[in-house]
Amino acid sequence: MPTIFTRIIEGELPGRFLWRDEFCVAFLSINPLQNGHALVVPLAEVDHWVDLAPEINTHLMEVAQVIASAQMKAFSPARVGLMIAGLEVPHVHIHLVPMNDLHDLDFANAETNPDATHLDESAVLLRQALRDAGATSVSD
């Protein structure tokens, strides 16, 4: 059975995509810890990040860095936190969370019913920041 992320990638479930290339996608979290919380997800269903092919791992980190730079521009946080937790969905995903405090990374604070308009606005801001930086794999 495909993971929820594969179902989003394949368009079976909606997603607010920021990035798509031949190896991965990035989209906004539906339960954001902070405004602009994004996930970088490989197309291939790999359960644990230590099992990723080294070249895919490298690519995911490169994309994460590009997305995080866009988050810095769009939201002006003190930092962008990066986490690979991997317990909630058996498909590798990198959390990128604009943050001003360590508590901003606490999953207990995730929004369970975020405003759709607010998520859409965040996606627009991030896509524009990516385009402004010259990214060529920006999703619409």
Question: Annotated catalytic residue: which of 37, 93, 95, 103?
Answer: 93
Query: Residue holding tokens 């989003």?
Result: 8
The two tokens of residue 49 are 């990040």
93 is catalytic: yes
| Chain-centroid distance, C-alpha 64 | 8
**Catalytic residue set:** 93
